[in-house]
Amino acid sequence: MNDFEKRRMDFPTLRAESPPIYFDNACMTLKPQPVIDAIHTYYTTHPSCGGRSVHQYANQVSQKMAASRRNMAAFINSPEVSEVVFTRNATHSLNQIAKGLSWEEGDVVLTSDREHNSNLIPWLQLEQEKGVDHRVVTSNPDNTFDMEAFEASCADAGERLKVVSMPQVGNLDGVEIPIKEVAKVAHDHGALMAVDAAQSAPHMSLDVQDLGADFIAFSVHKMLGPSGMGALWGRHELLDGLRTLSAGGDTVQWSEYDGMEWLSTPHRFEGGLDNYAGILGTGAAVEYLNNMNMNDIHEHEIRLNGLMSRGIEDLEGLSIIGPRDARQRGGICSIMVDGFDAHELAILFDESANVMMRSGMHCVHSWFRQRGYEEGSLRSSFYFYNTEEEVKFVVDTMQEVHAALF
Ligand SMILES: Cc1ncc(COP(=O)(O)O)c(C=O)c1O
C-alpha cells in the first residue's frame, strides 16, 4: 500500500463500508480526521471568540488562530505571516482585491477567457459601476495560454492597464497558466498581478515569493479545509493600501465618534467575530498538507488523469475539454458528450455506480455560452486519495454507458 492509499484511512467518508468514488475535488475536497477534530475540539472545549477577550477560552482561540496563520504562511512560503488574511472563500478574496483597489474610469483589467465566475463577475461589476474596462485574453484553440495574445493585449491597453487577474489552473479543464512569466509581463507594463489559486494551491507546490504575483486568492475548502474558508495573500505594502470590505469590530485600534485608527494588516480585513472553527480547521488542513510532498500529489493526479483520458478519448461522441495530453490538464478531466445533458449523466453515475462527479458549466458559463455548449460537461477532478482502481472502474463504466447511449 503506498502512502496515498494509507492516507485514505484518514478520511471518515472513505472508511465507510462502500465508499463512493469521489471525483468532485475541484468543487470541494473531503476532510481528513485532524480537520474534523480541530473543529470538534473548538466547539467542545473552547467555543469562544479570539483576538478580543482575555479569558482562558479566548486565549486558546487566539493562540490557535495565530498558529493557523503561521501554517498557512509556511505552506505558501509567505515572507511575512501577517500577509495572510483569512476570508470566507476564494470568491471573497477576489472581491476584496477587486473592490479594495481604487479605480478610475477607463482603467483596464485583463482576465483569461476561462474564468470561474469568481474571477469574472467582480470585474464585470466594476465595469458596470465604475466604468472599468474589462478585457479578455483569448486562449489558443486547445485552451492553453497564448502568451503572444496576452502581450498584445497588454500593449494595446498601454498605460491604462491596471490589473491582470488570472487563474493559475483553470477549473474548466485543469490547464495551467504560466503565472510567473505572466506576472513579469504584467509588471513590465506597470500593472498589478492577481492570481486565482483555487485550483492550484491544493494540487501543486506554490511559493508566493517565486511566483512574483501581488495578490493571491485561495480556496481552503478545496484543500482539505472546512467549508466557508478561504485566504488572501498580498504583498504587505499593497494590502496596506487596500480598502477593506469588512470594516467593523476588531479592525481598529480605537474609535471615537468622529474618527478611528485602523489595525494593521491582516486584522483590518477580518472584521467581526470570525469563523473560528473554520480558521482552526484551516490550520489543521494546512498542517496535513505541509507534511506531504505537493509535487508527488501533482504527479499522482496527472497519472490518474492520463489513465482516465486514454480510456475514453477515442469514444465517439465524447470530447475532453483542453489539450489532448493529460499532463497539460493536471488533475481535471472534463468531458462533453454530444447530445447528452451532463447533469443526467452525473445522476446516472451517482445512482448506478456510486461515482460522484461534477456536471454543468462549473461556473464558467462564459466559455460554454460563447461556444453554444448548452449541455455542459461531466468533470472528474482527482486528489491524492483517489486510486488507479477507481479510475479504471469509472472508465469501464463510461465505456458501458457509451455503448448503451451511442
Ligand atoms: C478556479 C476557481 N476560482 C474560484 C473558485 C471559487 O472558490 P470559492 O468557492 O472558494 O469561492 C473556484 C471554485 O470552484 C474555482 O474553481
In terms of domains, do 280 and 343 share one? no
Residue 381 has pLDDT above 90, yes or no: yes
Instruction: From the CA of 219, give the closest atom in ligand 1.
Output: 10
Dist. CA 151–CA 137, nearest whole Å? 9
196 lines ligand 1 (CB under 6 A): yes
In terms of domains, do 175 and 224 share one? yes
Cα–Cα–Cα angle for 63, 64, 70, nearest 5°?
A: 95
For residue 270, tell me if it sits in a domain. Answer: yes
Per-residue model confidence as pLDDT tens digits over 237-248: 999 999 999 999
- Encode burial over 292-324: b for 16+ CB neighbours within 10 A, e otherwise: eebeebbebbbbbbbbbbebbeebeebbbbbbe
Pairing state between β 318-320 and 358-360:
unpaired
Q: Tell me what the pLDDT averaged over the chain comes to.
A: 97
For residue 30, tell me if it sits in a domain. Answer: no
Last residue of one domain, picked from the residues 226, 258, 290: 290
In terms of domains, do 314 and 401 share one? yes
89 lines ligand 1 (CB under 6 A): yes
In terms of domains, do 156 and 90 share one? yes
**Left (φ > 0), alpha (ψ -120 to 50) or beta: where does 32 sit?**
beta
Mutate to test the pocket of ligand 1, among 94, 111, 204, 222 (most ligand atoms within 8 A of CB): 222
Last residue of one domain, picked from the residues 245, 265, 290: 290
For residue 28, tell me if it sits in a domain. Answer: no
Mutate to test the pocket of ligand 1, among 113, 118, 221 (most ligand atoms within 8 A of CB): 118
116 lines ligand 1 (CB under 6 A): yes
In terms of domains, do 18 and 71 share one? no
For residue 29, tell me if it sits in a domain. Answer: no
Q: How far is the centre of ligand 1, averaged over its atoms, from the C-alpha of 266 (Å)?
A: 22
Per-residue model confidence as pLDDT tens digits over 320-377: 999 999 999 999 999 999 999 999 999 999 999 999 999 999 999 999 999 999 999 9
Dist. CA 233–CA 236, nearest whole Å? 9
The pTM is what?
Answer: 0.97
Domain residues for 339? 3-23+293-405
In terms of domains, do 269 and 137 share one? yes
Q: What is the pLDDT of residue 321?
A: 98
Last residue of one domain, picked from the residues 272, 290, 308: 290
For residue 52, tell me if it sits in a domain. Answer: yes
Report which protein residue has its CA nearest ligand 1's atom 1.
171
Dist. CA 120–CA 110, nearest whole Å? 10
In terms of domains, do 279 and 300 share one? no
In terms of domains, do 347 and 240 share one? no
Domain count, the chain: 2
If you average pLDDT over residues 373-385, what whole number do you get?
96
Q: What is the pLDDT of residue 170?
A: 98
363 as an active site residue: the answer is yes
Per-residue model confidence as pLDDT tens digits over 43-85: 999 999 998 899 999 999 999 999 999 999 999 999 999 999 9
In terms of domains, do 238 and 107 share one? yes
For residue 50, tell me if it sits in a domain. Answer: yes
List 27, 49, 333, 363, catalytic entry: 363
End-to-end, the C-alpha distance of the chain in Å comes to: 38
The CATH number of the domain holding residue 340 is 3.90.1150.10
